[in-house]
Amino acid sequence: MGFGPDGWGYSLLAATGMTVAVAVCGFLVGAMLGCLGAAASFSRFRALRSAADIYTTLLRGIPDLLVIYLFYFGSSSLISSVGALFGAEGFVGAPAFLTGALAIGVVSGAYQMQVFRGAVLALPKGEIEAGRAYGMPPLLLFRRIVLPQAARFAIPGVGNVWQLVLKESALISVIGLVELMRQAQIGAGSTRQPFSFYLTAGVLYLLITFVSGRGFKLAEQRAMRGIRRAV
């Protein structure tokens, strides 16, 4: 586990950085999809509300590993088919980082959508009605009243989703991305010391979750400080 020529320290740290990178990318993709899905769930158009319901039902009902496989092999088959049109032969694998981050993002988006939707529903209806009575257009109403308070209510739930995304990033090792879990497997197989490598990986995962959890906690405390003063 050292950092010398024969150590695995640098490799594990690099793999930890890869884990954080894919988790952050997947989380951001999920946040965008979650916002769009939450907006669709409040739409006056029935088709959009139905699409949002189908999205959450499917993605929360299918195992995350299966979603990763579908994204990877589906996109790889598409790339191979396009390549065959230009004379390329054989199977062409899709970029593991890109497909893994997209798969995690699509899955986390279904959960973040419910978090954002619950945050909007937690808003006092009187404030929204007061904004409409004042003559605020929908966009201004959203920017001045809905968004600031919904973001405050959503922080705890979003923090929980982030923890799930971080753990789901370990599943991407099945499509060849060398992140923390995959690097631990490689080191365990090469040195025949699986306990040491998996224990180290567990400690690194806990360190990431602790630091990020503290960050979300501080963000929550900062967002709620106005309410505490008012109380």
Separation of alpha carbons 146 and 130, rounded Å: 12
Report the pLDDT value the prediction gives residue 2, as an integer from 0 to 100: 66
Query: Residue 93 in 3-state DSSP?
Result: coil
Report the pLDDT value the prediction gives residue 43, as an integer from 0 to 100: 86
**For the residues 29-48, what does the mean pLDDT come to?**
92
* pLDDT band for position 176 (cuts 50, 70, 90): confident
Look up tokens 């180290």; give the residue. 200
Report the pLDDT value the prediction gives residue 42, as an integer from 0 to 100: 87
Report the pLDDT value the prediction gives residue 227, as an integer from 0 to 100: 61
Query: pTM for this one?
Result: 0.89
Report the pLDDT value the prediction gives residue 192, as an integer from 0 to 100: 87
Separation of alpha carbons 204 and 207, rounded Å: 5
Percent of the chain with pLDDT over 90: 54
Report the pLDDT value the prediction gives residue 145, as an integer from 0 to 100: 81
Q: Which residues contact 213 (CB under 8 A, 6 or more apart)?
A: 159, 163
**For the residues 162-174, what does the mean pLDDT come to?**
92
Report the pLDDT value the prediction gives residue 214, as an integer from 0 to 100: 93
Query: Residue 91 in 3-state DSSP?
Result: coil
Distance of CA 87 to the CA centre of its chain: 37
**For the residues 60-87, what does the mean pLDDT come to?**
87
Contact 100/68 with Cβ under 8 angstroms?
A: yes
Separation of alpha carbons 231 and 228, rounded Å: 5
User: What are the angstrom distances between the C-alpha of 31 and each of 17, 63, 135, 173?
Assistant: 21, 20, 30, 23
- How buried is 210 (Cβ within 10 angstroms: 0-12 exposed, 13-18 middle, 19+ buried)? exposed
**For the residues 189-195, what does the mean pLDDT come to?**
88
Helix residue spans in the chain (DSSP H):
9-41, 46-61, 64-85, 96-121, 125-134, 138-141, 147-168, 180-191, 194-223, 225-230
Report the pLDDT value the prediction gives residue 142, as an integer from 0 to 100: 80
Q: Which residues contact 188 (CB under 8 A, 6 or more apart)?
A: 194, 196, 197, 198
Q: Which residues contact 205 (CB under 8 A, 6 or more apart)?
A: 19, 166, 167, 180
Report the pLDDT value the prediction gives residue 231, as an integer from 0 to 100: 46
Predicted confidence (pLDDT) at residue 105 exceeds the cutoff of 80? yes
43-55 pLDDT tens trace: 889 999 999 999 9
Predicted confidence (pLDDT) at residue 110 exceeds the cutoff of 90? yes
* pLDDT band for position 229 (cuts 50, 70, 90): low
